[in-house]
Structure 1
Amino acid sequence: MALFLLRRSIQSLGLLLLVSVIGFFILHLAPGGPLSQYMSTPGMTAEAINRVKESMGLNRPLPIQYLDWLSHLLTGDWGKSYRDGRSVLLVIGGHMGATLLLMLTAMAVAIVAGGLVGVFGAVRQRSAFDYVTSMIAMVALSIPTFWFGLVGIYFFSVQLGWLPAGGMYTIGNGSIGDIAIHLVMPVAVLALVNIAVWSRYMRTATLEVINQDFVRTARAKGLAPTLILRRHILRNALLPMITLIGLQLPGLIGGALVTETVFTWPGVGRLFLDSLGYKDYPVIMGLLMFSAILTIVGNLLADIFVAAADPRIRNQ
């Protein structure tokens, strides 16, 4: 197990380094840049622009800039925002809580709802429930996330007035109940596609286990169906689902970006779009590395959990 963890950890660090290299160079080679806002300022001379460029460290070759950025990153200094000079970690940290609240709540809803739908769909294969849920899942996977968000705002906020159209809380309120009400639509929209994914995977995994010989043996012994489902089917069907949790993190991050934009949720998704518009390289790279770390760590934890549950994997 120790060798398995060491090998996976080295692979994860190598992948993280590769993501940083590709992200840094693509970002800095893109048209425009943080100096474009100064160039359009009236009275800004070329000498003044060069001074600003030098103060930002943008006058050095890209490889030198990358190595300098990486050396600071490894010491915990993620740089300072071009917009207001604040530490990148402080800027991201100020938006992190809202995104984690949205993502974790949506993931919990998706896992529970999608898992239950998938299991019942497999147990009642070819039933009306199975056909209806399969059709709904296909529709959810085919329609963009932002469309569900806009439709939800139109019906539940504009027409019915049941839920707020955006924001994380009402100005001057901010109670737990108020945040929970604002959380309903963003979580529903972000979780909808993931429920569809979870239900499809869970249904397939459960069907594969149901058709195994040990399940037939358990039925032949006269064990209760609920006992067979709990002890034999679910325990084995959940193994591939552990891996899926790690694989869903990138989708949740991308979905959160769209969802936060539609519902003006003050998370890192909104921060990312604002930073792109401002060409705030340090913040964009910080968000890229945060997303990469979250994704890679999620996959690493999934590998560890699966290896702990199945000795055949850690011995490969």
Structure 2
Amino acid sequence: MADPFVTHGTTEAPAPVAAPGRTGRGRTGPPLAALARLAGRRALAAVPVLTVVTLGMFAVAAASPFDPVRQYIGSDGLGASQDTLDTLRERLAASGTFAEQWWAWLRSALTGDLGQSLTLRQPVTEVIAERAGWSLLLCGLAFLISLTLGTTLGVLAARRPGSVLDRCVSSLSYLLQAAPPFWLALLAIWLFALQLGVLPAGGLTDTGSDTVTAGSLLRHLTLPVAVLAVSQLPWFVLYTRQGVLDALHEDPVRGARARGIDERTVLLGHALRSGLLPVLTLIGTRVPELITGALLVETVFSWPGMASATVRAATAADFPLLAALTVISALAVLAGNLLADLLYGLADPRVDPDQM
């Protein structure tokens, strides 16, 4: 009997099978070790980024005409002696060149000491701890709502391109893209608080009450979350719609339809996996816009988050607080990009995390 691997006197070995977890057609997903290496590389790359960000912050502070010491003591410093000002400047680590101030701040920050807020007269860590939770609650809920609702509307619009639903969803998304968050916030206050009177205009507690209850929190949280979610919604809608539309014209989807598979299974089982990949990359790019939108929304609704501290730090040249908030914003952006990369590596088996 002839050897099936012998052709014209030449012996051919069978094609090697890709090992599980390695790149290739047989790979079903990246190994956790590859994702861990990706996270490690991103963490190392974040070090020079944060270094440049903080150095730039202190360079701007050094070039600013504002004196942090006089900002700290206010009108009490009008009659203060130069020795008193120099002593206070030394205690606030505001003496020396901007490089020396940056190095002193960095050494303290690595030990958990972010300095003293010049305007709020309390440690920066306390300022952040009091406000970060409220900002995270607002941003987290708004992001989840915009992501869930945006992908749902995008898929529904992509199922029937050119239909009335598709035209309405797409037109509304383009309209919302041009609407700034603060305008949406003012419109929501005018409609739901002033005209209809169904929701409070801002704050965290009801008038005449200092107690935060679950009911009052839900009422006061509704408008800020809704406005911030709506401001982020159109990008998820449009990206999902285009991604699913492209996926519906790919060869695997056409093959599934040719085999007689029903349209629902084709959409959910074949088109969505590749169609939602662009949305994963969008997650990282929307983080800066989410932070900016949250600052505007918190300011309009008097939400007790990081916005009030950021505005006070910027207008009063509170550089210790401003430096910490800048670092937090940079870390949030880097974390968003890392999350998008990890999700993309998990969702697309063709992607090798070691090559990202």
Shared fold (TM-score greater than 0.5)?
A: yes
Cα distance in 2 between the residues matched to 1:80 and 1:261? 23
Number of the residue aligned with 1:128: 164
Shift of 1:200: 0.8
Number of the residue aligned with 1:32: 66
Q: What is the SS of the residue equivalent to 1:209?
A: helix
Q: Does 1:20 align with 2:54?
A: yes
Shift of 1:113: 0.9
Match for residue 138 of structure 1 among 164, 171, 174: 174
Contact 1:39–1:49 under 8 Å retained in 2: no
Q: Does 1:161 align with 2:161?
A: no
Cα distance in 1 between the residues matched to 2:196 and 2:41? 55
After TM superposition, list the pairs within 5 Å mapping 1:247-266 onto structure 2. 247-266=285-304
Contact 2:124–2:324 under 8 Å retained in 1: yes
**Bigger radius of gyration:** 2
Q: What is the SS of the residue equivalent to 2:270?
A: helix
Letter in structure 2 aligned against 1:187? V
Contact 2:119–2:312 under 8 Å retained in 1: no
Cα distance in 2 between the residues matched to 1:221 and 1:9? 46
Q: What is the SS of the residue equivalent to 2:276?
A: helix
Cα distance in 1 between the residues matched to 2:105 and 2:275? 44
Shift of 1:97: 1.0
Q: Does 1:92 align with 2:128?
A: yes
After TM superposition, list the pairs within 5 Å mapping 1:260-279 onto structure 2. 260-279=298-317
Shift of 1:315: 4.2
Letter in structure 1 aligned against 2:351? R
Q: Does 1:211 align with 2:249?
A: yes
Cα distance in 1 between the residues matched to 2:74 and 2:185? 38
Cα distance in 2 between the residues matched to 1:238 and 1:289? 31
Number of the residue aligned with 2:216: 178
Shift of 1:301: 1.9
Kindly provide the CA deviation profile for residues 138-169 of structure 1, in whole angstroms up to 9, marking residues without a partner as x: 11111221111111111211121111000122
Moved more, 33-42 or 101-110: 33-42
Letter in structure 2 aligned against 1:178? S
Letter in structure 1 aligned against 2:218? A
Cα distance in 2 between the residues matched to 1:39 and 1:315? 54
Number of the residue aligned with 1:289: 327
Contact 2:114–2:320 under 8 Å retained in 1: yes
Q: Does 1:80 align with 2:116?
A: yes
Moved more, 293-302 or 41-50: 41-50
| TM-score normalised over the length of structure 1 | 0.94
Q: What is the SS of the residue equivalent to 1:312?
A: coil
Shift of 1:288: 0.8
| TM-score normalised over the length of structure 2 | 0.84
Contact 1:81–1:282 under 8 Å retained in 2: yes
Number of the residue aligned with 1:115: 151
Gaps of 5+ in 2: 1-33
Kindly provide the CA deviation profile for residues 247-292 of structure 1, in whole angstroms up to 9, marking residues without a partner as x: 2111111111000000000000111112223322111111111111
Identity %: 34
Letter in structure 2 aligned against 1:30? S
Contact 1:308–1:314 under 8 Å retained in 2: no
Moved more, 16-25 or 27-36: 27-36
Match for residue 346 of structure 2 among 301, 308, 312: 308
Cα distance in 2 between the residues matched to 1:282 and 1:122? 49
Letter in structure 2 aligned against 1:4? L
Match for residue 280 of structure 1 among 314, 318, 329: 318
Kindly provide the CA deviation profile for residues 158-214 of structure 1, in whole angstroms up to 9, marking residues without a partner as x: 121111000122224421121111111111111112111110111111111111000
Moved more, 64-73 or 75-84: 75-84
Contact 2:182–2:297 under 8 Å retained in 1: yes
Contact 1:306–1:313 under 8 Å retained in 2: no
Cα distance in 1 between the residues matched to 2:96 and 2:265? 67
| CA distance 1:173–1:54, change in 2 (3 Å) | closer
Shift of 1:125: 0.7
Contact 1:97–1:267 under 8 Å retained in 2: yes
Letter in structure 2 aligned against 1:204? Q
Shift of 1:82: 2.1
Letter in structure 1 aligned against 2:105? W
| CA distance 1:191–1:39, change in 2 (3 Å) | closer
Letter in structure 1 aligned against 2:273? R
Cα distance in 1 between the residues matched to 2:352 and 2:231? 30
Q: What is the SS of the residue equivalent to 1:252?
A: helix
Kindly provide the CA deviation profile for residues 7-63 of structure 1, in whole angstroms up to 9, marking residues without a partner as x: 333222222222222223223322313234347544334443333222212121111
Number of the residue aligned with 1:8: 42
Gaps of 5+ in 1: none
Cα distance in 1 between the residues matched to 2:259 and 2:270? 13
Aligned residues: 316
Q: What is the SS of the residue equivalent to 1:35?
A: helix
Cα distance in 2 between the residues matched to 1:148 and 1:131? 22
Q: Does 1:243 align with 2:281?
A: yes
